[in-house]
Amino acid sequence: MSFPETSSPETGSALLPALQGQPIERVQRDGVEYVVLGTAHVSKVSVDAVDALLANEHFDAVAIELCDSRAQSMRDPEAFKQMDLFKVIRQGKAGMVAASLVLSTFQKRLADQSGIQPGAEMKAAMDGADKRALPLWLVDREVGTTLKRAWHSVGFWQRFGLLGGLLASVFEREAIEQEEIEKLKQGDLLESAFSEFASESKPLYQSLIGERDAFMAARLREEAARTATAEPRRVLVVIGAGHLKGLTGLLREQQDDPATIVANLASTPPKARWPKWVALILVLAVFAAIGYAFHRNTALGAQALRDWVLYTAGFSALGALIAGGHPLSILAAFIAGPIKPFRPGIPSGGISAMAEAWVRRPRVIDFDTLRDDIGHWSGWWKNRVARTLLNFFLVSLGTIIGEYTAGIHIFKSLL
C-alpha cells in the first residue's frame, strides 16, 4: 500500500510581511502540492494573506471552505430575496430556512462589531481565482446537510439547548465579547454559533468539525483526480484555522475512495421513526376511545368527538393568533388542526402559513430588512416573511399540544 507524501518546507513567499505568523501547511499527495492557509473568519490579516499568496505564488486551482449555497450567498447577498415562501413551506424546509437566517444574523452582528464581514477571506479567494481565471473548488459540505447531521447527532433534550443557544446568539443585545471574537478567529463559524454545546458534545463537534475535515480532504482528492488531465500541480486551499490540523492530517492519511467518503458524509440521516409512531399510536388510541365512547353512549361519544375538535382546533388557532396571523390563517389553522391525522405529511402549520403568505404577501421591504428584523423579538411579528415562518412553527406546536390535551380529556371521560 502506498502512503501520501509528507508536507514540504515552506517557500520563500512565507517570509512576506503579509504571511508572517500565518498558519500555512504544505501537503504533497498524488503529484499535487496543496498549500493550505488557515484563516480567521473575521480578520483583515487573513484577507491580506490570501491576496499575498495569490500574488506571489503560482497556483493551478483555488479551493475554499464553502459549499455551493454559501458561495452563492456570498457572491450575491441579496439572492435570498428571491425565496419562494410557498415552495419552502410545501417542501418542509421552513426549519432549515429559519436556521440559515438565524446564522446569517449572527454573522451580521459579528460584521457590525468587528468591521469585517465574516468570510471576507473566502470572498478574496473567489475574487482572486476569477481574476486569474483559475478553477474554483468548493470543497465544504452543504450547510443544510451539516445542520441536519448535527441535529440528529444529539439527544432529544440536548436539542432544546441547541435551539436556545442559537436563538441567544441572535437576540443577545450586548456586544460580543472580544474573547469570543478571538475564539472565532481560531475556530469555526458554525461551532461559534452553537457556543458551548459544540465543545461539550463530542457528537456535535464531530458533525460540525470532524466530519467536515474528512469531507473536505476527500473533496480535494476527488477534484484533483477529476482534473488530472489538466495536471493541477499546485492548489491553494483556504480554510478556517480550526480545520487546519484536522484537514491536513486527513489529506495525508486518507486511503479510502474519496467519492465513497463524500457520498457517505453528504447523506442526510434518516428521521427517527419513533416520534411518528408515538403520534400515530396516540391518534389511533384517541379515535378508538371515541369509537368506544359512541358504543357506550351516543352522548358520550359526541362529547369525546367534540373534545377532539375543540382542543386540536383551538390550540392550532391559538398558535396562529400568537404568531399575529391574519384572521384567514387563524381560520385555516382552526380547520386544519382536527383533520391532521387524515392528511399525513402535511402539517397544519404549513396550511396556515401558506394562507398567511397568500393574504399578506411579503413585500420588498420585508426581504430588505429581514436580517435586521429577526435580530429583535418584535421583528418576528413585524416582518411578513419572519411572521409566516413563526406561524408555521407555532401552529404546528399548537396542534401537537391540542392532540395530547384532547387525548387526556377523552380518556378521563371514559374512566
> The domain containing residue 296 runs over which residues?
274-414
The answer to whether residues 149 and 45 belong to one domain is yes
The CA–CA distances, whole Å, from 246 to 29, 205, 210, 290, 382 equal: 16, 12, 7, 58, 44
How much is the pLDDT for 187? Answer: 52
The answer to whether residues 115 and 159 belong to one domain is yes
pTM above 0.85, yes or no: no
Last residue of a domain, one of 207, 242, 266: 266
Q: Is the pLDDT of residue 345 over 50?
A: yes
Report helix angle 384-414 to 327-336, nearest 10. 40
Residue 229 belongs to some domain of the structure: yes
DSSP state of 210: I
How much is the pLDDT for 209? Answer: 84
Residue 250 belongs to some domain of the structure: yes
The mean of the pLDDT values for the chain is 79
The CA–CA distances, whole Å, from 297 to 84, 92, 409, 415 equal: 50, 41, 17, 14
Residue 178 belongs to some domain of the structure: yes
Tell me the one-letter amino acid at 71: A
The answer to whether the beta carbons of residues 323 and 383 sit under 8 Å apart is no
Residue partners of 320: CB distance under 8 A and separation at least 6: 329, 330, 332, 333, 334, 352, 356, 391, 394, 395, 398
Average pLDDT in the 334-342 region?
86
Element (H, E) at 13: none
The answer to whether residues 187 and 309 belong to one domain is no
Last residue of a domain, one of 266, 285, 319: 266
28 beta partners:
33
How much is the pLDDT for 55? Answer: 92
The answer to whether residues 104 and 207 belong to one domain is yes
The answer to whether residues 212 and 299 belong to one domain is no
| Count of domains forming the chain | 2
Average pLDDT in the 204-211 region?
83
Beta strands at 61-64 and 234-240: parallel, antiparallel or unpaired: parallel
The answer to whether residues 234 and 334 belong to one domain is no
The answer to whether residues 286 and 252 belong to one domain is no
The answer to whether residues 32 and 101 belong to one domain is yes
Residues 116 and 104: their CA atoms lie apart, in Å, by 14
Residue 57 belongs to some domain of the structure: yes
State the residue for C-alpha cell 406561524: 391
Residue 75 belongs to some domain of the structure: yes
Summarised one tens digit per residue, pLDDT across range 233-281 is 899 999 988 888 899 999 999 999 999 999 999 988 776 666 677 777 8
Summarised one tens digit per residue, pLDDT across range 315-331 is 999 999 999 999 999 99
Residue 141 belongs to some domain of the structure: yes
Residue 296 belongs to some domain of the structure: yes
Last residue of a domain, one of 235, 266, 297: 266
How much is the pLDDT for 103? Answer: 66
The answer to whether residues 140 and 80 belong to one domain is yes
The answer to whether residues 39 and 136 belong to one domain is yes
Summarised one tens digit per residue, pLDDT across range 81-139 is 666 676 777 766 676 677 667 666 666 666 666 666 667 889 999 999 999 999 999 99
Most confident of 90-99, 303-312, 381-390: 303-312
Residues 275 and 135: their CA atoms lie apart, in Å, by 45
The answer to whether residues 309 and 347 belong to one domain is yes
How much is the pLDDT for 65? Answer: 92
Residue 249 belongs to some domain of the structure: yes
Of 71, 253, 219, 62, which Cα lies nearest the Cα of 139? Answer: 219
Q: What is the band of 202 on the pLDDT scale with cuts at 50, 70, 90?
A: confident
How much is the pLDDT for 11? Answer: 46
DSSP per-residue string spanning 235-261: EEEEEEHHHHHHHHHHHHH--S-HHHH
> Cβ of 179: how many Cβ atoms within 10 Å?
8
Of 123, 124, 141, which Cα lies nearest the Cα of 71? Answer: 123
The answer to whether residues 67 and 207 belong to one domain is yes
